[in-house]
Amino acid sequence: MQVQTPVQMQVRHFRQQLFWPLQLMPRRDPLADQRPWEAVLTTPGSPWREVVDEYTGDPEDFHERHYQEFVTFLPQVQRFLYGEGATRGAAGRTGGSSSMRVLRREDLKQVRLRLRTEDVPVLLEVEHVDLCFFHDLDVVVLNLEVHAADLPLDVAQELLYRFGRGYPPGWDDQGRGLHCAAMVEWIGADGQVLAASDAGDREVFLAFVAAHRSPRIAAHWRWLMQPLQPDAEGGDAPLRYRQIEYHRMPVMAYLALDEPRELSRPDYVRLGLVSGAAAPAQAAPAGHAQRPQMDALPFGDRHLSDFEQHHCYDRFWCDGGAAPHTRYLCCGHALVVVGRADSAFFTDRERGVLAQFRHQHQLIFLIAHVQKAAMLMFSDRLVVALDTLEIAQASSVKRFKRAVRGNFENFLRFTHRYWFHDLAEQAQARALYRLCADHLGLELLYREVRERVAEMNGYLDTDSLRRQANTVVRLTVVTIAGLIGTLSTGFLGMNLLAEADASWARRLSLFGLTVVASLLLTGLCVVYSKRLSDLLDLLSDERLALSDKWSSWRQHDDR
């Protein structure tokens, strides 16, 4: 029986943004106090340059879309994203500027992908490649935006599913990487291949994990991150990063279609959950009814029973409005917007949905994942601090205390600078952030990390109080012992030795002997301060007779 292949819907305008949060590791070079983005800029041969945006550059470049982006957010979020401005002074650690610094490289112009070995290569145009750094936060986010025109829907679905993979999660029986693109090539301005993926080198990935207990970042992503290098590779690289989340990069996507209502529910499920395209239709076995494979749900019906309720924002899914039939899909690691290609407002780069997608929504998605990455980083640092703690070594205890105190201080800075329950009061922006935050579990994760940081800091406070109490006990015992001698020798101004008229040599000798005796007595009191303190406790107990006190002391002394 021959299966008819349905006509594939075309995506008139496709745009994809990848976000890769990574943890910056402590630096080892003499310039360790230099800020990370400054170190990247000053590295010889670095392709990165700092972005002078419309808020810090020429006022003539500031347009209406920048104004709309700015007023979308609440004031505290505005200060985080855009700073205080030049007229407000240069106070604080950020000098009045934005808490986020963006670096950009211009050498990458196109991306050529072969999604599967048998597929025709797909060519995507690169909009920008950015590195986002943050003050007082050892997190860096790689942001790559690509776009194309007139892509088949299944190709767009596979791009969302396969492109943003830091490394292959496995291989098939032919050695081909699973769930990732078969080939990725970075293309420069002259058409030259700058770097290519190596997902098929299975033995290299296996050997790396066996040797380093850390996944090996694919070659094209390692090249793109230079001069930053993976921490597991070691070496003397001053700038190193470590994977902090899943190898699958968070993704945003914009799809302009001729008629979004023609997409089936399984198509929206595949887009919203980024599960890739449907498998090609196959002939049904003899005696079985033929069901089009393209209309099959990617997961079970019960699992997807609440998909529209929990993953769709359908405020604009209607016939009216400036951009009719616009639907937002979110699952935490993905935010997808689908709309009509013939809607002027949906495709407007200055005031419409496309402008919002590339600016307001991009920042909303970025902030949510920076918050998650930062909290995972704080949790990881507590684990590392505990792993390196050796109670018997004073130096290890001091390093542990410094690490915990530093983590507590940085968490306070994160809370007051980067943690927001809401980013905006506008209904759409607020709803999209809540969708992202709820799917990422940010509230629960924040409470968990805050409790862990507080517990660790509370442990240090309790330990400090214990040490202070022990010191007070020792000082009390020494004071009581000294009080006995002082009262005995100083009663009525008594001098046991009348040596005022003796020679200097004799007086100095007596003074030295007295100092030595005092030091020995004080030292013995400190050494036996715990036992003497127990003795004082027994003597002060009015419920015990003198014989009972002596008996209790003898039993304690025997122990």
Let me know if 47 is exposed, middle or buried by CB neighbors in 10 A (0-12, 13-18, 19+): middle
Q: What is the DSSP letter of 321?
A: S
Encoded amino acid at 318, one letter: C
Tokens of 200: 């098929």
What number of other Cβ atoms are within 10 A of residue 362's Cβ?
18
pLDDT at res. 408: 86
Asked whether residue 477 carries a pLDDT value surpassing 60, the answer given is: yes
For 206-264, where are the E strands, in sequence order? 229-230, 240-243, 251-257
Confidence of residue 103 (pLDDT cuts 50, 70, 90): very high
| Beta bridge pairs of residue 256 | 13, 339
pLDDT classification of 278: cutoffs 50, 70, 90? confident
What is the pLDDT confidence band of residue 283, given thresholds at 50, 70 and 90?
very low
Question: Which two structure tokens, joined as six digits, stand for 544?
Answer: 């015990």
- Segment 374-385 shows an average pLDDT of 89
Q: Which residue has the higher pLDDT, 277 or 285?
A: 277
pLDDT at residue 556 in the model: 59
Distance CA 216, CA 206 (A): 9
Percent of the chain clearing pLDDT 90 (strictly above):
53
Which range, 126-140, 231-245, 511-525, has the best average confidence (pLDDT)?
126-140
| Separation of first and last alpha carbons in the chain | 91
pLDDT attached to residue 246? 85
Q: How many CA atoms lie within 13 A of 306 on its CB side?
A: 3
Q: Any residues with CB less than 8 A from the CB of 111 and at least 6 apart, and which?
A: 123, 124, 126, 146, 184, 185, 186, 187
Is residue 298's pLDDT more than 60? yes
Summarize the confidence of residues 265-276 as an average pLDDT: 95
Residue 474: predicted pLDDT:
67
Cis omega before residue 285 (within 30°)? no
> What is the average pLDDT across 492-498?
63
Identify the three-state secondary structure at position 505: helix
Q: Which pLDDT band, with edges at 50, 70 and 90, does 488 fall under?
A: low
Read off the amino acid at residue 544: L
Q: Residue 22: which pLDDT band, with cuts at 50, 70 and 90?
A: very high
470 or 4, which is more confident? 470
Amino acid at 54: E
Counting residues of the chain whose pLDDT is more than 70, the rounded percentage is 80
What is the reported pLDDT for 548? 65
| CA–CA gap between residue 142 and residue 479 (Å, rounded) | 63
Which tens digits make up the pLDDT trace of 117-169?
Answer: 999 999 999 999 999 999 989 999 999 999 999 999 999 999 999 999 999 99
